[in-house]
Amino acid sequence: MQDISNKLTKQFNQLFTNDNVKRLFFAPGRVNLIGEHTDYNGGNVFPCALDIGTYALVAARNDGLCRFYSLNFPAQGVIEFEVSNLEFNTAHNWANYPKGVMLEFSKKGATLSHGFDMIFYGNIPNGAGLSSSASIEVLMGTILNDYLKTAYDPVKIALIGQAAENKYIGVGCGIMDQFASAMGRENHAILLDCNSLNYQYAPLNIAGYKLVIANSNKQRSLADSKYNERLGECREALKLLQSRLKINALGELSVETLEQNQDLFTNQTIYQRARHAVAENQRTLAAVVALHNNDLVKFGELMKQSHISLRDDYAVTGKELDALVTAAWQHSGCIGARMTGAGFGGCTVNLVKADSIEDFITQIATEYQKQTNLIAEFYVVSPGDGARELKEFRA
């Protein structure tokens, strides 16, 4: 962290003349450990915040000007705008994410009485599906909440971040990413019902093991279209089931009840989509029980079953993610591996013995390149706390 704060401070002093106190804030990325394509089916997700994310070095200004700069996008230069003009501007590129959060704060009655000088830096790999957009939104919300003294709780900040992405950026994301970034707790994951926002923390006591994220570096060209297709298929399944059962969502069913009503389905594909949604939700609940029992082997087996279901019943993995996961299953140091995210590219999440990490990465990288001609990237991460000011830094 010291290296990052030094890098940010050096860049800040090169770009800006500002004698006000500089403060350092951080918001994490996230990974979903299990519970994939369950959120829009009335089920649960199980993310954890990570120890990688987005940092911002901030100083208030004495006027209404904002000057934002990102170390990740140096070619964009310093992006300037007034707090009185928060309209979306294509030329502002990445800065539209924090701008959208500022607009949401103002719409809720907060007075943006001054601007800011800010240097941003993220160590979440771009395009890896670890939620860099939610991270920067929650980061900005945390900064504004402090400076504007709005006293919003972290759930409110997450909802503001989601609203900014939905309305301002125009991406119809759910709440999971922002929620995990705002509400993360070190060495814990969060069981979250995305509809009710009911949640509980579950311990991630993985001493002797590490979470390893493997980025397939496969462009996720099919993810959006297939997402909408799966959404439609699940709605069709729900409608069929509602002709007999009083339910509002697939997540309300058990696998047994679904099987008892299989005769409603004339299309096997539609049945398989429903089977994944129902079984994955039950797996997610079972995973929480396994962690409370410190049964990592059981948790790892549930991760494997999740991937098989996403591959066979939901058909959202693709050869690249399957190659990564299959190679991981074959490594003796790995006790669980699955795709994470929307699918058709992006990342896998792996639970690996700490003393096997180096060999695991070498073996999986070699096998993956042999199978796909692509080079995977690996990140060893830990479950971390949610968005916050890093108070050990003040300048």
Q: Residue 20: pLDDT above 90?
A: yes
Contact (Cβ atoms closer than 8 angstroms) between residue 174 and residue 39: yes
Q: Choose the catalytic residue: 177, 313, 355, 359.
A: 177
Run of H or E residues at 5: helix 2-15
Q: For residue 326, what are its two tokens? A: 């299959």
* pLDDT of amino acid 219: 78
- Segment 194-217 shows an average pLDDT of 93
177 in catalytic set: yes
Q: What is the largest CA-CA distance in the chain?
A: 72
Please name which of 61, 151, 73, 137 lies closest in space to residue 99, comparing C-alpha atoms. Answer: 137
pLDDT tens-digit map of 30-71: 999 999 999 999 999 999 999 999 999 999 999 999 999 999
CB-CB contact of 187 with 51 (8 Å): no
What are the pLDDT digits (tens) for 147-190? 999 999 999 999 999 999 999 998 877 899 999 999 999 999 99
Domains of the chain: 2-205+384-394 (3.30.230.10), 209-381 (3.30.70.890)
Rounded alpha-carbon distances, angstroms, from residue 89 to 75, 86, 99, 201, 257 = 17, 8, 10, 39, 50
Query: How many other CB atoms are found less than 10 A from the CB of residue 337?
Result: 28
DSSP 229-282: HHHHHHHHHHHHHHTTS--SSGGG--HHHHHHTGGG-S-HHHHHHHHHHHHHHH
pTM: predicted TM-score of the whole model, two decimal places: 0.93
Tens-place pLDDT, residues 101-141 = 999 999 999 999 999 999 999 998 766 677 789 999 999 99
Q: Is the dihedral of CA 213, 205, 35, 31 positive or negative?
A: negative
**Radius of gyration for the chain, computed over Cα atoms and rounded to the nearest angstrom:** 22
For 112-125, the three-class secondary structure string (H helix, E strand, C coil) is CCCCEEEEEEECCC
Q: Which residue has the tokens 């940010």?
A: 8
